[in-house]
Structure 1
Amino acid sequence: MALTVADIVTDPEVYSARRQDARARILPVRAERRIRVGDMLLFEFENEETLRYQVQEMVYTERLRSLADVAHEIEIYSRLLPASHVLTTTLFIELDVAETVRSELARLAGIQRSIHLEIGGLPVPAEEIPGPDEAPGVPTATVSVHMLRFPLSDSARDAFRDPAVLVELVVDHPAYNEATPVTGAARKSLIADLALRG
């Protein structure tokens, strides 16, 4: 599974004519891949379809025409592609009051390192995916958007794919302790991700 330059429309007029249909197609896909944990955190699990849409929108809004620029955007977003033993998500910290954003982010410092999937009672910690200009392994500041990956062992993958096994998305932070079961359409969609090669 891969995103390629050939997947992306670089002519803004051509994409503009298709944009409404593209949005209508992606909204239900994104909706079934969203999991809310508590009242402030939203996780949107990514796949090839959601990432292709994001790249296409970036190319359109930024009016990127150069194939090199398009390839650069694909390289950035491809870090979020799931694979047979990896689930990926974008974490959104939803803060509605502009005046308190800085203090709330300070209160939630490190929350992106306090997340795990609990699969049949066993934790699978999230790993933060560094930005293109960030060094791997160096802790980043807590901002309103983070990219995360969950690397699964063979046994964790098999357990996740078994609908009888309880899976929860857990946030265990001193200022925010919440969990949500991964069920229904979201679970089915993520199980499909784990059927991929790679």
Structure 2
Amino acid sequence: MQLTGHITPDNLMSLEAYTKWRKVHKPSVIAHRRLRSAVLGEHLHVQFESETTIRYQIQEMLRIEKVFEEEGIQQEIDAYAPLVPDGTNWKATVLIEYTDVNERKRELARLIGVEDRLFVEVEGHARVYAIADEDLDRENDEKTSAVHFVRFEFTAPMRAAIQAGAGVKLGCDHTHYPAHGQLSAETLASLAGDLK
């Protein structure tokens, strides 16, 4: 899978080529995803995306749905490509995970607005709150969604601090879900590569 900085139909693999590539490289993509994953408290999973994770997601959708026509390929690109960080930010998929159906229903009602209370705090700088669900609103008056897409936008001094090795805290200050923790050095090393 070649990273180009811009996902287009022309630089995706054919279904046949991807099937061969996948057999060899799937474990390394899973390791990359795991490295860029953080758990916040017991029920919030934050998956920081990259061109690698999004290319893989698009190729997987094309493979599963057996899409080979240009229009279908472009639809998958349009759906997922906005999740690739663009040099000034981190982008993530946030999953609110409760295994019990009744508990999940109750907690999603209590956690309305949780996506807007997620933050990243770079050592020595103010908190950066998530810009959530820019594609469409994922909550209503009764509950929030179990899946959100967020972006953390950084100033140039924050990006420089991250790249210089500053500590970074990931947190949530929602009334019903206060949680925070340091991102590991390994995760930060991977995330720093998203910034220009």
1:157 shift after superposition:
1.3
SS at match of 1:95: coil
> Does the CA-based 8 Å contact 1:10-1:64 persist in structure 2?
no
State the alpha-carbon separation in 2 of the partners of residues 31 and 139 from structure 1. Answer: 25
Partner of 2:130: 126
SS at match of 1:193: coil
SS at match of 1:30: helix
- Greater alpha carbon shift after TM alignment, 41-50 vs 140-149: 140-149
1:41 shift after superposition:
0.7
State the alpha-carbon separation in 2 of the partners of residues 72 and 78 from structure 1. Answer: 10
Partner of 2:189: 188
1:86 aligns with 2:86: no
Which amino acid in structure 2 is aligned with residue 130 of structure 1?
Answer: E
Which amino acid in structure 1 is aligned with residue 30 of structure 2?
Answer: L
Query: What is the RMSD computed on CA atoms of the aligned residues?
Result: 1.7
1:28 shift after superposition:
0.7
State the alpha-carbon separation in 2 of the partners of residues 98 and 17 from structure 1. Answer: 38
Counterpart pick for 1:32 among 28, 32, 35: 35
Aligned pairs, number: 188
1:76 aligns with 2:79: yes
State the alpha-carbon separation in 1 of the partners of residues 110 and 59 from structure 2. Answer: 35
Which amino acid in structure 1 is aligned with residue 192 of structure 2?
Answer: I
SS at match of 1:150: strand
> Does the CA-based 8 Å contact 1:89-1:148 persist in structure 2?
yes
Which amino acid in structure 2 is aligned with residue 182 of structure 1?
Answer: L
Q: Which of structures 1 and 2 has the larger relative contact order (alpha carbons within 8 angstroms, sep 6+)?
A: 1
> Does the CA-based 8 Å contact 2:112-2:139 persist in structure 1?
no
State the alpha-carbon separation in 1 of the partners of residues 74 and 172 from structure 2. Answer: 34
Pick closer, same or farther for the CA change 1:158–1:15 going to 2, 3 Å.
Answer: closer
State the alpha-carbon separation in 2 of the partners of residues 16 and 75 from structure 1. Answer: 22
> Does the CA-based 8 Å contact 1:37-1:170 persist in structure 2?
yes
Instruction: Spell out, residue by residue over 1:52-110, the C-alpha distance to the aligned partner (whole angstroms, 9 max, x if none).
Output: 00001111111212111111111221111112211111111111112322111001111
> Does the CA-based 8 Å contact 1:9-1:15 persist in structure 2?
yes
1:159 aligns with 2:156: no
1:116 aligns with 2:119: yes
Partner of 1:6: 10
> Does the CA-based 8 Å contact 1:35-1:43 persist in structure 2?
yes
TM-score (norm 1): 0.88
SS at match of 2:193: helix
Which amino acid in structure 2 is aligned with residue 144 of structure 1?
Answer: A
State the alpha-carbon separation in 2 of the partners of residues 107 and 170 from structure 1. Answer: 18
> Does the CA-based 8 Å contact 2:8-2:77 persist in structure 1?
yes
State the alpha-carbon separation in 2 of the partners of residues 148 and 107 from structure 1. Answer: 20
TM-score (norm 2): 0.88
> Does the CA-based 8 Å contact 1:115-1:172 persist in structure 2?
yes
State the alpha-carbon separation in 1 of the partners of residues 132 and 163 from structure 2. Answer: 23
Pick closer, same or farther for the CA change 1:102–1:161 going to 2, 3 Å.
Answer: same
